[in-house]
Amino acid sequence: MRHKKKFNHLSRKSAHRKALLSNMATSLILHKRITTTVAKAKALKIYVEPLITKSKNDTMHSRRMVFSYLGQKEAITELFGEVAPKIASRPGGYTRILRTGNRIGDNAEMCIIELVDFNATYTEVKTETKKAPTRRRRSAPKKAVETVAQAEASAVTEEAPEAEEEKAE
């Protein structure tokens, strides 16, 4: 029975589980998205979201607390320098799990876990540009019609002075 078991142990001892989650959290922070199994992604989400919340407050204490979980200076620098300013206004839900199907070898359910504000597909605002409608008839293009009309108008103005000269004679 699972009475009073709050989190998934992932079939590992506590030291192995802590190392696994620490390494996965570091990879997620550095690369912004990783591919893993759904069970590990859910455990990682519970592990990494409080760390991201702590990174909003950039103090020496919060840096040391996060470092005790992650253990890599590069990840701390990336978290406090690049990730924290982007998620400053977000109240929670910093990660997204996208299921990708089953793994070929053992049929494990796979997914991509990513930081929400770093996915260009969802964060960029697309500006719609209207394309010119394609012409489907075989009529003369507009520019050609305008040039023909201009040529006729200039020919009429040139003929007009000649006609006046003939009348004068």
For every residue of 50-75, DSSP letters joined together read HHHHHHTS--HHHHHHHHHHH--HHH
Q: Are residues 36 and 96 in the same domain?
A: yes
> Could you tell me if residue 2 is inside a domain?
no
> Against a cut of 0.75, is the pTM above it?
no
Q: Which two tokens stand for residue 29?
A: 């922070």
Q: In terms of DSSP H, where are the helices of 34-141?
A: 38-55, 60-70, 73-78, 84-86, 120-123
Q: Are residues 75 and 118 in the same domain?
A: yes
**Range 52-60, long-range pairs (CB < 8 A, 24+ positions):** 52/79, 52/83, 52/84, 52/87, 52/94, 53/92, 53/94, 55/79, 55/80, 55/83, 55/84, 56/84, 56/87, 56/88, 58/84
| Tens of pLDDT, residues 47-65 | 999 999 999 999 999 999 9
> Could you tell me if residue 162 is inside a domain?
yes
> Could you tell me if residue 129 is inside a domain?
no
Number of H helices, E strands in the chain: 7, 3
Q: Are residues 156 and 111 in the same domain?
A: no
* pLDDT for 117 beyond 60: yes
**What local confidence, expressed as pLDDT, does residue 121 receive?**
79
Local structure of residue 117 (DSSP, 8 states): G
Q: Are residues 114 and 147 in the same domain?
A: no
| Tens of pLDDT, residues 119-148 | 877 767 666 777 777 777 766 556 655 665
> Could you tell me if residue 118 is inside a domain?
yes
Report how many domains make up the chain. 2
The SS3 assignment for 30 reads helix
Return the residue matching tokens 């406090």.
80
* pLDDT for 151 beyond 90: no
Q: Which helix (H) or strand (E) holds 157?
A: helix 142-168
Burial readout 44-82 (b: 16 or more C-beta within 10 A, e: otherwise): bbebbeebbbbbeeeeeebbeebeebbebeebbebbbee
6 pLDDT band, cuts 50/70/90, is: confident
Q: Are residues 26 and 74 in the same domain?
A: yes
* pLDDT for 11 beyond 80: yes
